[in-house]
């Protein structure tokens, strides 16, 4: 009888162990699947993060490249404008020098007489003080009668002024003046001349 009971007990124990082992295997298998799923998800997330980081780096790199290109273009443009202004300033200096040479020609005296007559005629006062540099005052002194007659104004010569050429006319009290010196004429037309030079530089 003991042998029979022993066998029954062993059989029950075996069944319990088999069931426990089976249950344990099921738990292990489930845990392994869950672990694989977690690892797979983590791997996917890692890949997605990696791709996202690569895309972000690519976008940042592209943005940085575009920014650098834009900055270089801006610098080049500013350098161009700076150099262009230097060229324009140099051309203005050459214009002034050329005008100085033109003032030595006989054609200049003809222009000086014409602008003196016109400026005096347009002046609002009946009496006009005509001023110029020392060289031109000597010439105007020989023409003051003609200027008075043709302008219809009482013209007198004033003190010499510092100028390349041209004239400056004033009222007797000096409160009203019209500047027709070469320098003032160039300055009044500076922007037009500058734009013309800029167009030529652009080709």
What pLDDT digit, counting tens, does each position of 172-193 carry?
A: 887 878 999 999 988 888 888 8
Could you give all domains of the chain from N- to C-terminal order, each with its CATH number? 103-202 (3.30.2320.30)
Please state the φ and ψ torsions of residue 105, each to the nearest 5 degrees: -90, 160
Q: Above 70 in pLDDT, residue 75?
A: yes
The answer to pTM > 0.75 is no
**Pairing assessment for the beta strands 166-170 and 154-157 based on DSSP bridges:** unpaired
Alpha-carbon distances, residue 195 vs 33, 130, 181, 190 (angstroms) = 80, 33, 22, 9
The mean pLDDT value of the chain amounts to: 80
């Amino acid at each position: 009888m003991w042998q029979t009971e022993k066998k029954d007990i062993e059989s029950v124990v075996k069944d319990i162990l088999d069931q426990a082992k089976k249950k344990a295997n099921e738990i292990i298998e489930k845990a392994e699947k869950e672990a694989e799923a977690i690892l797979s998800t983590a791997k996917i997330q890692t890949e997605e993060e990696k791709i996202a980081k690569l895309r972000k780096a690519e976008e940042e790199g592209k943005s940085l490249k575009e920014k650098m290109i834009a900055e270089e273009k801006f610098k080049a443009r500013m350098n161009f404008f700076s150099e262009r202004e230097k060229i324009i300033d140099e051309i203005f200096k050459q214009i002034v020098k050329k005008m100085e040479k033109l003032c030595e020609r006989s054609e200049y005296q003809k222009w000086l007489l014409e602008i003196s007559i016109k400026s005096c005629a347009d002046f609002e006062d009946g009496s006009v003080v005509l001023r110029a540099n020392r060289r031109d005052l000597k010439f105007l002194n020989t023409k003051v009668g003609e200027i008075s007659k043709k302008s219809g104004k009482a013209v007198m010569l004033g003190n010499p002024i510092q100028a390349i050429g041209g004239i400056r006319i004033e009222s007797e009290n000096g409160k009203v003046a019209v500047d027709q010196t070469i320098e003032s004429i160039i300055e009044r037309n500076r922007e037009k001349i500058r734009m013309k030079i800029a167009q030529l530089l652009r080709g």
